[in-house]
Structure 1
């Protein structure tokens, strides 16, 4: 058959997808590199267990610095600096730690971040440096220029006002009396002081307290601690609030099970500031002489909207621990346990929703938090790169294989439609550009035909609408025509004449009775009389019978042929019986034959 010699080709399809092949090795290399990086980040050893590390939080990571690795907090502090990834899931025995450049060596000291989360500052450092700053973007530590004479004190907290970016330290470092409220400015890298309330006010000078910034309340919340002499504060288990915008101090009225008074505890809030969590610490309630105040592992949650306390399930007792809340999960690391030993490296995770301690941390699926992170590649980003690289690689390979198999089965005929099908000689195939031009031309013709059809349909629709508009008044005129009025005859000799009504003559077979069997009156006018004074009635008008006197000239009626008598309109007469009214003249029909024709 002639069809055997037709030239077929699928080169055009192979050429279209072939350029993707060189990119496959590159994608494979990138995916392998990301996987190796991800695996290295996951298997990286975490920080050495310590007690009293400085800790601060960004939107995606928890940073911990320094701490004491020796039991009883008597050894030299470390310079280790790590961040814990809060964007990926991890097990509490193998958390997603990332090691950062070493920082200052210290224990039991505060840290906080700037408003844009690009810089972290730590206080309570050894002279001559009172504070040090860490740049997240460069990963470099630099000494702070802030002058803090009382920087040797412990137990002072630092918190950042997210409205202004200022850092507040209650009973801070600018004096040696613990009687000032210090305010640090990241922009100027300097600290100033304001007066604290007196001892008789809501918040007497204290140490080893807990403080957090509540985003919801736009204020700093305080709980627990000792007085200035490091003595327990009786009845001090209240929540004190500082509204930074107005510098007003007040004591909140709360409900529910209030936590016992404590110090050295860990305190934090959730992302939106609607929840404050108190964990662990050392009880400050009086105990018998010679006994140690017990270490606590209880959990208390304060709803900052309703100011209601809720008690959770207790965990392992800790003091001087680092903590934060992410995705409604309390994360606790480090500290000293109830045996005065440094806590193990395992991270404690408490689900605030289910009120249970769990072994796996689960991040948010979508986060509304904002802020920057450190310059190091996070494990979450690496994991995402691995998944994306593998997915793209698999998709490219499968797509290429699928298209290649498909076009190998369906070959493209390169002969034109005008070619003789019986011709056995092979003709050169048309170029791809020619085929594309022909296809474009064919599409243009189809679009033009469709446009013409649409125009024709549009015109027909317009004609139909016009026809409907023309028919509508006619239909309405047929419906709304008034009843046809009888013909009216006008006398041409005058400007006005009463209407003349015509009616068919009544038909009857009764003999003449001498009276009008219709009991009706007929009135006509006499030529020459005033038309306005006469009424010409040729249509019977119902009237009651009226007697005719014998002396009236109308009593004599010619029976052989009726005549029309003119009378004034005011004197009506009756038509004699037997007289019939037909058209505009009078006639008499023979009795018994109402349809007989009368010959004059």
Structure 2
């Protein structure tokens, strides 16, 4: 009997440990999934992968691993972490669920950056989207008649969540603007610009969303017949809010016309970068033209082009910008071979190609972003760990309560040595459980508060980013200082006597000169000189067209003895500074001379 009871007790002891172990394992797996802990050595080198970008990662899908893009494409799907440092020979890749097998096809993310959609699939339905939260691919319901076209770009307007595909798949004449809606999983057709716009029926172009300009910018490509476009090295802009097209007027050395190139932008949209590509103008006698590896940077604020230092030539490559660093991966090199797995990194600040990637920081710069998914995963993981600890503690308490034994002899009837009643033990357990619940609730509230603070910090950094990296110096306006006439009394300024002369004046240059007589023996400070107004003689020509000479008499100056009352403090008056003496106590009374 005792053996059975002991065996039953040991079984009950093992159950809490098993439950705790299962909870900890599930919590660890859940946290690792959201933290993207499944690292990988990296994808196989390919040409023409679909690529799209979130705030923290670059995603690449598919691509052709065979030289000349003649082999079957792959279905590999990887993400590149942009929040940690890595070397260009070993980027921080994470392997994800395999997706559709395709090459040279567009991809873009939804407004909330939780779903990535790809188009130009070979079989209907012609699109599929990936859910980051579930790591699952799902076929779209969109069927597009021109899904066999290549060279179409897809860009998401982050303000509306709509996806724009210029010269898209709903019309086989490449003259439609396709608009995909994530919410309804459907595509509609809009009109392209008229023939006076350079982007009409364009293919193999580059496009990107500019956050600063709130528009889509296009550069390069062929026409609908895959022929060179004459004078096409211009930037075309589509303002999605008004559905208006325009050709931007830029300055500086614009990049030569090209196709199959890579176009990307920085986080605040103040910079658009064009890298590599295939020259659209054929060489002499139609021979092959070498691929490009040059770098051109457009300042979207001043619309000025600058040229960087060239790198390895590439076409059909994936690219993005993070922390003022251009990252290029995959594509076809100048020998028509699939580019190696090594990534190319170009520092846009120092205009140099480097080997190490430096992630963005959380110090308030334009590239500092907070990963909301990582925050949510961390909060969920923390709550799960706390729950596991609470359950483990409760199970331990119950185990000790059920295995209480007597430590005295059978004849000892002392009250102190008797086990506590079951009701009292249960009450203490309930109290302890309630206390733990309160602690758990407080910790959950603290975690939620931290999450909200991080989100607010992210929003503040996003608001401050465009001003910090716009590179536009705003001159500080100096405050204008002026004098308030009513703020106090200002002493009058008295001028000295005009020069003495006996010369008459007859020229216009003498009209502004006054004449003063002085009497010998009188102190000038004891005189008040009343200057009579100087008459202005007529100026001009007579009827006989000869200059008129006008002679004016000298003005009369009257000398007044100093004993006359009501003099100015200086002892004299002057027409240019009229002064009145006022009696004390009544400053507004006018004294009659």
TM range (shorter): 0.5 to 0.7
Higher mean C-alpha deviation, range 104-113 or range 362-371: 362-371
Deviation at 1:197, TM superposition (A): 1.5
Deviation at 1:146, TM superposition (A): 1.5
Encode CA deviations 1:346-398: one digit per residue, 9 max, x unaligned: 011100000000000001111543665599989xx9xxxxxxxxxxxxxxxxx
1:71-470 matches, within 5 Å, as 71-366=67-362, 368-369=368-369, 372-373=372-373
Query: SS of the counterpart of 2:285?
Result: coil
Deviation at 1:162, TM superposition (A): 1.1
What's the RMSD between the two structures over aligned residues?
3.2
Query: SS of the counterpart of 1:285?
Result: coil
Call closer, same or farther: CA 1:265–1:349 in 2, change over 3 Å: same
1:56: which partner in 2?
52
TM-score by length of 1: 0.56
Encode CA deviations 1:408-432: one digit per residue, 9 max, x unaligned: xxxxxxxxxxxxxxxxxxxxxxxxx
2:450: which partner in 1?
none
d(CA) in 2 for partners of 1:131 and 1:374? 28
Encode CA deviations 1:92-147: one digit per residue, 9 max, x unaligned: 00110000000000000000000000000000001222000100100110011122
Deviation at 1:284, TM superposition (A): 1.0
Which one has the largest radius of gyration? 1
d(CA) in 1 for partners of 2:342 and 2:271? 25
**Residues 35 and 374 of structure 2 are in contact (CA less than 8 Å); yes or no, is this contact kept in structure 1?**
no
d(CA) in 1 for partners of 2:373 and 2:284? 49
d(CA) in 2 for partners of 1:39 and 1:271? 22
1:406: which partner in 2?
none
Call closer, same or farther: CA 1:120–1:37 in 2, change over 3 Å: closer
1:520: which partner in 2?
none
**Residues 118 and 372 of structure 1 are in contact (CA less than 8 Å); yes or no, is this contact kept in structure 2?**
no
Encode CA deviations 1:440-492: one digit per residue, 9 max, x unaligned: xxxxxxxxxxxxxxxxxxxxxxxxxxxxxxxxxxxxxxxxxxxxxxxxxxxxx
Call closer, same or farther: CA 1:212–1:33 in 2, change over 3 Å: closer
1:543: which partner in 2?
none
d(CA) in 2 for partners of 1:377 and 1:90? 23
Aligned length: 356
Deviation at 1:253, TM superposition (A): 0.5
Call closer, same or farther: CA 1:266–1:377 in 2, change over 3 Å: farther
Deviation at 1:286, TM superposition (A): 3.3
Query: Structure 2: 5+ residue runs without aligned partners?
Result: 1-24, 382-593
**Residues 266 and 278 of structure 1 are in contact (CA less than 8 Å); yes or no, is this contact kept in structure 2?**
yes
d(CA) in 2 for partners of 1:230 and 1:185? 29
Call closer, same or farther: CA 1:40–1:234 in 2, change over 3 Å: closer
d(CA) in 1 for partners of 2:149 and 2:71? 18
d(CA) in 2 for partners of 1:196 and 1:103? 31
Q: Following superposition, which runs of at least 4 residues in structure 1 exceed 4 angstroms of deviation? A: 36-43, 370-378
